[in-house]
Amino acid sequence: MLNKKFLDQANFELQLWNNYFHLAVAFLTQESLQLENFSSAKRAKILNKYGDMRRQIGFEIRDMWYNLGQHKIKFIPEMVGPILEMTLIPETELRKATIPIFFDMMQCEFHSTRSFQRFENEIITKLDHEVEGGRGDEQYKVLFDKILLEHCRKHKYLAKSGETFVKLVVRLMERLLDYRTIMHDENKENRMSCTVNVLNFYKEIEREEMYIRYLYKLCDLHKECDNYTEAAYTLLLHAKLLKWSEEACAAHLTQRDGYQAATQGQLKDQLYQEIIHYFDKGKMWEEAIALGKELAEQYENEMFDYEQLSELLRKQAQFYENIVKVIRPKPDYFAVGYYGQGFPTFIRNKVFIYRGKEYERREDFEARLLTQFPNAEKMKTTSPPGDDIKTSSGQYIQCFTVKPKLDLPSKFHRPVSEQIVSFYRVNEVQRFEYSRPVRKGEKNPDNEFANMWIERTIYVTAYKLPGILRWFEVKSVFMVEISPLENAIETMQLTNDKINNMVQQHLSDPNLPINPLSMLLNGIVDPAVMGGFANYEKAFFTEKYMHEHPEDHDKIEKLKDLIAWQIPFLAEGIRIHGEKVTEALRPFHERMEACFRQLKDKVEKQYGVRAILSSLDERRGSRPRSMVRSFTMPSSSRPLSVASVSSLSSDSTPSRPGSDGFVLEPLLPKKMHSRSQDKLDKDDLDKDKKEKKKEKRNSKHQEIFDKEFKSTDISLQQAEAVILSETISPLRPQRPKSQVLNVMSSERRFSASPAPPSSQLTPPPITPRTKLAFSIQPNLELNGMSGSDIPDVPPPLPLKGSTADYGNLMESQDLISPTTSPPAHQRHLPPPLPSKTPPPPPPKTTRKQTSVDSGIVQ
């Protein structure tokens, strides 16, 4: 009836034909006709009585389609979905009869518009939903490829573009079938891999809607696994598709109900907030700060949302503090090869670099891998396998630890804190190394280093880690050989860096356990433990080696230089160890000191003396943390400040802890001296004990004043010192509470205001400035303390001027310390005596005005 009455041009009814096709496909795909879902007996009975009705109706649909003639274009692309649904029925003859309809649709659209873009977009979208819904299989992929390629290659105009389209759809089907296979798998890592394969495919063919759809599937998987860093990087891919503009949001951009945004700028703002939250949970504060800066720019200059801006800047401040204060565990990286035809196609015969979880050892990681593939056999070697293993039907897993190669951002153009650099040692990395020792030539029983070469394999991943996955495929591999001498240089450099880093960690955090430092230092200075660098001397510092390898002269000099540089690093480490060592470990420390003295004498005699040059001028721009918090921590818990690390007296007594040097600074210089700087004299120990007893008696402010009072000032040439100074109390016992109220105002005045100029007062005896043992760059004062020597004997307590009034500090001018000076407008007048009426407060100070002696801003 349709063919007779409603097909010609005059009587063609589009809606009627449309209804017919949809009804026919619905009949064909109904559950009661899917014979493959029945038992074999029931299936045989139905086929006997009725035959496969799906085939009959399918052939009818095909014939009706071809009868449409010039009306076909009216059904494209609406009918692509129903026809696809019909062709996916697992009946071979039906598939062979109906798949050619797709080529006919391509032809129709091409003749009408000179392309088949609408058909292509529709079939890709529908195919994704159908395969994910459980339809389609490997046989369908093969038939689709074969039938359509045959038709396209016969066509004059569709040969090239048609073949490209068919290959694209086949690639998509491969990924979708893999994805469907593991979609309900307990192994979420496999699900993540397949999801990424699909979303990368959609990105490649610029199908933004499908790409975003799979981004959120991946993000949800990461959140289920607490992979917050990877979830953040995944969401960031969506955010990058958006602009900071008032442009309206397309429907496919807001696929989540949680986002209420009318414009792209609003949606991007919401996404950035969520991404920053995930980066924070993943301890990736550097990434959160970078996004925060971009967002702050919008709040400040585009949206003018100062409330949001202030909240964001508070978060950023916390992130910066976390970077310096919080210790982040460094994950290990593992190279994993999946060899054999037994693995899924997306990992078969490929190598990946995996980012381990926090504190995850290789053994635990391997156990996790083998749990996912219980039939796999673990390979015993790290060498690439041969074709026999790759082509076998089994599963072989190769796993070993690799070392990430530091790729420091260009902004770090000068030395920075190890706490900052350590992030980049295990993050934003794309190159990984695996080193294997190889012997060349005859074995030397006396010295194994002489012919110990290193075979280093470099792996380069497709993307930087971490990223949207915890692993990425290795895209290139190459190998380099390291000579024994180059290996020695590299080893010495790493050892020096390790000592330096650990020293700075202890300077930053006095509560760190001492055991790792003990093991590191003892392993280097005690030849009975490690053998030291004597083996390098035997192997490379001989006339024979120099004669045979004249081209290595520069490298040998470099190795000697590194050996010499190790001494000042060790000296600082042993000094810190001596301060923190317990009485039980004192004999161990003394033996270590004795070994170090011998080592130091030998090295300095043979390779010269090295001193770590100060880069104080570089620190003027970024003030050490000790300047800000010099009065916030008691001395017992404070690490060495920048000044106290670098300052040694002329008789070489090491400085005591002076301030909160929380920032991990590079080691500062030590001057040569007659007495060993690494040994704690008995006198010093006795003095320290006395000081501790005295400090217990003093109040917190008196203790602080005592520490600051004992340090001398740097030369009075500073012009740019920016130092915050807090309340300084007199060095005498605290007054009873009954007396505090009477003089509170004057005492507050004297604690905040500077004392009279030193020309009017006589300071207590301190080490003269003219006896400084070294020079230091001008324009810098740290914590109001100089780099000069701390006197062996603390200054005498000031005499009590009046038993009734400790607030009268001006009674004896020669007892006042010159560490502070009055504001500029008061220097010509003596400070007023305390009275019953509180004096006016001193003028407010700013950070940029500075008093020469006190460092307090005028």
Q: Which residues contact 409 (CB under 8 A, 6 or more apart)?
A: 424, 428
Of 361-365, 519-523, 687-691, 822-826, give the lowest mean pLDDT range. Answer: 822-826
Per the CB < 8 A criterion, the answer to whether 241 and 215 are in contact is no
Residue 813 per-residue DSSP state: G
CA 323 to chain centre: 10
Taking only the tens place, the pLDDT of each residue in 646-658 is 333 333 333 333 3
Of 154-163, 217-226, 357-366, 508-517, give the lowest mean pLDDT range. Answer: 508-517
pLDDT at residue 11 in the model = 86
pLDDT at residue 661 in the model = 36
Question: CA angle, 247 as apex, 242 and 249 as ends, to 5°?
Answer: 65
The mean pLDDT value for 271-298 works out to 96
Residue with the bigger pLDDT between 99 and 446: it is 99
Of 160-169, 172-181, 742-751, give the lowest mean pLDDT range. Answer: 742-751
Per the CB < 8 A criterion, the answer to whether 80 and 117 are in contact is no
| Rounded CA separation 616/214 (Å) | 52
Q: Give me the chain's average pLDDT, please.
A: 77
pLDDT at residue 643 in the model = 34
pLDDT at residue 301 in the model = 94
Taking only the tens place, the pLDDT of each residue in 52-86 is 899 999 999 999 999 998 999 999 999 999 999 99
3-state secondary structure (DSSP) of residue 710: coil
The mean pLDDT value for 311-333 works out to 94
**Exposure b/e, 720-740, CB count within 10 A at least 16 = b:** ebbbbbeebbbbbeebeeeee
| Rounded CA separation 815/145 (Å) | 98
pLDDT at residue 691 in the model = 53
Per the CB < 8 A criterion, the answer to whether 831 and 810 are in contact is yes
The mean pLDDT value for 259-264 works out to 83
Could you give the percent of the chain with pLDDT greater than 70? 70
CA 369 to chain centre: 25
pLDDT of 425 strictly over 50 = yes
Taking only the tens place, the pLDDT of each residue in 544-587 is 888 888 898 999 999 999 999 999 999 999 999 999 988 998 99
Position of tokens 């000579």?
483
pLDDT of 813 strictly over 50 = no
Residue with the bigger pLDDT between 336 and 797: it is 336
Greatest CA separation found in the chain? 125
The mean pLDDT value for 221-228 works out to 94
Q: How confident is the model at residue 613 (pLDDT cuts 50, 70, 90)?
A: low
The mean pLDDT value for 437-466 works out to 85
Nearest alpha carbon to residue 713 among 810, 855, 523: 855
| Rounded CA separation 670/197 (Å) | 57
Q: State the amino acid at position 71 in one-letter form.
A: H
| Rounded CA separation 283/321 (Å) | 12
pLDDT of 846 strictly over 60 = no
pLDDT of 858 strictly over 90 = no
The mean pLDDT value for 723-730 works out to 42
The mean pLDDT value for 387-391 works out to 93
Phi, psi of 140 (to 5 degrees): -65, -40
Q: State the amino acid at position 329 in one-letter form.
A: P
Give the residues across from 355 on adjacent strands.
Answer: 333
Taking only the tens place, the pLDDT of each residue in 626-644 is 333 323 333 333 333 333 3
pLDDT at residue 529 in the model = 55
Residue with the bigger pLDDT between 435 and 697: it is 435
pLDDT at residue 527 in the model = 66
Q: State the amino acid at position 819 in one-letter form.
A: T
Q: How confident is the model at residue 337 (pLDDT cuts 50, 70, 90)?
A: very high
pLDDT at residue 344 in the model = 85
Of 195-209, 511-525, 660-674, 794-808, give the lowest mean pLDDT range. Answer: 660-674
**Exposure b/e, 242-256, CB count within 10 A at least 16 = b:** bebeeeebeeebbee
pLDDT at residue 377 in the model = 93
The mean pLDDT value for 299-303 works out to 93
Position of tokens 């009455």?
5
pLDDT at residue 449 in the model = 75
SS3 content of the chain, % helix, strand, coil (to 5): 50, 10, 40
Residue with the bigger pLDDT between 780 and 85: it is 85
pLDDT at residue 769 in the model = 39
3-state secondary structure (DSSP) of residue 762: coil
Helix axes 264-281, 228-239, angle to 10 degrees: 160
